[in-house]
């Protein structure tokens, strides 16, 4: 079954809007795992507008499932990952002022840079994943870096799902199959929700993990965090 990693950035965003420590991101991480989530994802950015570097350090000892730290691998990020040693690091080419991730890596252009990063993280026993679009050239480029996994950037899938889900999924099926053929496992994330998740993992059953934050946390405002996590797990169990 595809594993569910909950991105708790949005909880930190709400906290930061008022200051203080409500809602508490550590409690959120612990509760997500208690409710059945199989991983916790955080995406610290240089301006710390949601998850802070201190949050990552505080959360780490309490993650007993899988800890995934994603972000743009600048020096501060690299140092944090090597200090905290999550089970997985996901490399994302965000600009410093990006509202949210909006593209994957050009793994051809940045192949040497990514190869050096992958080598360094793997040397410390950290599984690597490269955030990439469903572009076969970029999938091949990712394989040449030696990365363990790719994470498919699924915003285009989510956008076109409501128009024509068969067309929306096609390039992602091809990309995932190529990645697997080239020896990489496949993750997926961005704009996945209760509306489009089941179709994705049904059509691409080899997806190892999905990372979901914005939709899941938003839906939790209506239904409660525990019920929403159970609903996501049910969608994944149907594959």
Look at residue 46 and tell me whether its pLDDT is greater than 70: yes
Give the CA diameter of the chain. 48
In the residue annotation, 237 being an active-site residue is answered as no
The mean per-residue pLDDT over the stretch 192-214 comes to 97
Look at residue 101 and tell me whether its pLDDT is greater than 70: no
Look at residue 85 and tell me whether its pLDDT is greater than 50: yes
Q: What pLDDT score was predicted for residue 103?
A: 77
What class has domain 3-237? alpha beta
The mean per-residue pLDDT over the stretch 8-37 comes to 96
Q: Where are the alpha helices (DSSP H) in 124-185?
A: 136-145, 155-161, 165-181
Look at residue 102 and tell me whether its pLDDT is greater than 70: no
What rounded mean pLDDT belongs to the chain? 95
Look at residue 37 and tell me whether its pLDDT is greater than 70: yes
Q: What pLDDT score was predicted for residue 99?
A: 47
**pLDDT tens per residue across span 168-183:** 999 999 999 999 999 9
**pLDDT tens per residue across span 106-135:** 999 999 999 999 999 999 999 999 999 999
Q: What pLDDT score was predicted for residue 238?
A: 64
Q: What pLDDT score was predicted for residue 100?
A: 55
Query: Which residue among 66, 70, 133, 209 is the active-site one?
Result: 70
Q: What pLDDT score was predicted for residue 95?
A: 60
Q: What pLDDT score was predicted for residue 94?
A: 74
Residue with tokens 């955080």: 42
The mean per-residue pLDDT over the stretch 71-90 comes to 97
* Of residues 95 and 149, more confidently modeled: 149
Name which of 62, 23, 13, 20 is nearest 40 in CA terms. Answer: 62
In the residue annotation, 43 being an active-site residue is answered as yes
**pLDDT tens per residue across span 145-172:** 999 999 999 999 999 999 999 999 999 9
Query: Which residue among 151, 190, 219, 235 is the active-site one?
Result: 190
In the residue annotation, 120 being an active-site residue is answered as no
Q: Does the N-terminal peptide bond of residue 183 adopt cis geometry, omega within 30 degrees of 0?
A: no
Rounded to whole angstroms, the Cα distance separating 237 from 46 reads 36
On the 0-12 / 13-18 / 19+ scale of CB atoms within 10 A, 205 is: exposed
Look at residue 29 and tell me whether its pLDDT is greater than 90: yes
Look at residue 231 and tell me whether its pLDDT is greater than 70: yes
The mean per-residue pLDDT over the stretch 91-113 comes to 80
Q: Which of 33-42, 89-98, 159-168 has the lowest mean pLDDT?
A: 89-98
């Amino acid at each position: 079954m595809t594993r569910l990693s909950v991105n708790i950035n949005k909880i930190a965003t709400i906290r930061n809007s008022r200051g203080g420590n409500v809602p508490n991101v550590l409690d959120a991480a612990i509760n997500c795992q208690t409710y059945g989530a199989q991983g916790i994802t955080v995406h610290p950015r240089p301006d710390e507008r949601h998850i802070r570097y201190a949050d990552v350090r505080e959360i780490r000892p309490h993650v007993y499932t899988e800890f995934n730290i994603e972000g743009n691998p600048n020096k501060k990020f690299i140092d944090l990952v090597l200090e905290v040693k999550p089970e997985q690091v996901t490399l994302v080419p965000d600009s410093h002022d990006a509202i949210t991730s909006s593209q994957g890596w050009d793994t051809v252009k940045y192949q040497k840079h990514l190869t050096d990063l992958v080598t360094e993280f793997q040397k410390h026993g950290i599984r690597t994943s490269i955030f990439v679009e469903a572009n076969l050239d970029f999938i091949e480029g990712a394989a040449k870096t030696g990365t363990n996994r790719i994470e498919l950037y699924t915003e285009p899938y989510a956008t076109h799902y409501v128009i024509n889900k068969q067309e929306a999924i096609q390039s992602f099926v091809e990309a995932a199959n190529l990645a697997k053929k080239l020896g990489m496992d496949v993750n997926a994330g961005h704009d996945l929700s209760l509306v489009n998740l089941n179709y994705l993992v049904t059509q691409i059953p080899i997806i190892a993990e999905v990372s979901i934050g914005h939709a899941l946390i938003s839906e939790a405002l209506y239904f409660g965090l525990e019920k929403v996590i159970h609903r996501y797990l049910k969608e994944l169990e149907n594959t």
